[in-house]
Amino acid sequence: MNASPNNTDRLSLLETFVRIVEAGSISAAATQLDSTPPTISRRLQALERELGLQLLARSSRSMTLTEDGERCYQRAKSLLAEWAEFESDVRGEDDEPRGNLRVVVPHAFGQAKLVDALGDFLERYPGISIEWTLHDRTPDFVANKVDCAIHAGEVTTESAVAVLLAEVPRIVAASPRLLGKQLPMHANELANLPWIGQHPYSRDRVELREAESSEAVEVRFRPRVITDNLFALRSAALRGLGVCVASEWVLREDIDRGDLVHIAPTWQAAPLPLWLVYPRLQHTPARVRHFLAAMRAAVPVALSGEVLRKRGRDGGR
């Protein structure tokens, strides 16, 4: 009769199972683990025997998690992260995090402002690899298998920790050919102009506040174009399709060149908060903690030249 696996063997079997799920196949997991498909298959079968559960439904062409397998995967991932953190703390290796980090980042910001910071982070921590997914909405961390996200705007999830990285100034701008010789100076002059809306921040209205007096005006408009992408918003504004409210960093070079005009320049929309959001776990993996520290330092630098108000938030919402 075969002896039951010891705790070290069980952890190793769980690591193999997690790698199979994340690699997408037994053969891909074997390549990553420098092993062979038959060996990886036997390890999966050993784990299923140990647990008395079928974790993967397998056919000649596909492999999918069973309901038990999904529960096992989520628990195993958490358990392995806790074990890795325990080992790191005991060995004093907290400064050398390892593993794969899955990050979701807003399209425009992730493309234009954070790639250098990403490169610096990877150079500092060569044991980490990153999946850099561009998406403008906060993900379902469990369903999408995401470690953390950089999120613009309000954070609504109650099950995550959100740390404010910066508040990004937003301004009003338009093409000079749209405006002609009339340059609006007051927010009240903007409602009758053609507009480009941005979902979800300024779809058909925006509140503008005057810098010195703090006077507030809600500008309501019927947009000619609505987009959820900051680069598309900028392109539409450059084309002269309407007035836009957007993050100052994405418009500044166009304004400096004269391709766009900063209109009602003493008026601004509320700054857009930029958060780093991650699941609320009993033990946050070291790679997430180090990434958070790196982004808290890098984001203000990436937005240098703009007025940023930074503060941290250690708890969730």
Region 183-207: what's the mean pLDDT?
88
pLDDT one-digit tens code per residue, 87-132:
666 655 455 788 889 999 998 888 888 898 999 999 999 989 999 9
User: Cα–Cα distances in Å, from 271 out to 152, 154, 161, 249?
Assistant: 10, 11, 21, 12
Nearest in space to 243 (alpha carbons), one of 301, 192, 314, 315: 192
Average pLDDT over residues 39-52: 92
Range in 80-89, 140-149, 225-234, 293-302 the model is least confident about: 80-89
Task: Render pLDDT for 262-288 as a digit per residue (tens, 0 to 9).
Answer: 999 999 898 989 999 998 876 788 889
* Close Cβ partners of 181 (under 8 Å, ≥ 6 residues apart): none
This prediction's pTM = 0.65
pLDDT digits (tens, 9 = 90+) for 131-178: 999 987 777 787 778 899 999 888 877 778 899 999 999 999 999 988
Q: pLDDT tens digits, residue range 242-252?
A: 999 999 999 99
Q: Above 50 in pLDDT, residue 308?
A: no
pLDDT (mean) for 67-73: 90
Residue 44 has pLDDT above 80, yes or no: yes
If you average pLDDT over each of 87-91, 153-157, 204-208, 257-261, which comes out highest? 257-261
Average pLDDT over residues 232-250: 94
Asked if omega into 271 is within 30° of 0 (cis), the reply is: no
Residue 313 pLDDT greater than 90, yes or no: no
The reported pLDDT for the residue numbered 282 is 66
**Whether residue 10 has pLDDT greater than 50:** yes
For 281, half-sphere exposure in the C-beta direction (CA atoms, 13 angstrom radius) is 22
300 vs 59, residue with greater confidence: 300
Calculate the average pLDDT of the chain.
84
Nearest residue to 34 (alpha-carbon basis) of 48, 16, 10? 16
Average pLDDT over residues 305-317: 37
Q: Is the dihedral of CA 289, 291, 294, 295 positive or negative?
A: negative
Percent of the chain with pLDDT strictly greater than 90: 39
